[in-house]
Amino acid sequence: MFSIETGSYVVHAKLPELGSGEVLAAEKGAVRIRFASGERSFSLEFAGPHLTVTAEAPAKAAPAKSKSRKKG
């Protein structure tokens, strides 16, 4: 059975556009991963075979844009 550790970095072979991600939790048949684009949850049964551990940390998430008011 596939086992993955919290805190490790992974890449998803079928979704390379996500880049690398940090494993936040892996329990009850699911894994939650923080990618630069946000957190994603996957079923370990289906995604596990496509996740590969890597040494590359995920990119920093872009800060949220503040809404500015137009003066006038």
> Count of CB atoms within 10 A of residue 39's CB?
13
Structural domain boundaries enclosing 27: 9-54
H helix count then E strand count, the chain: 1, 5
Q: For 9-36, what is the mean pLDDT? A: 93
pLDDT tens digits for range 30-68: 999 999 889 999 999 999 999 999 888 887 766 656 666
| Residue 66 lies inside a defined structural domain of this protein | no
Alpha carbon distance 50, 52 (integer Å) = 7
Please, are residues 39 and 61 in contact by the beta-carbon 8 Å criterion? no
| Residue 68 lies inside a defined structural domain of this protein | no
Domains in the chain: how many in total?
A: 1
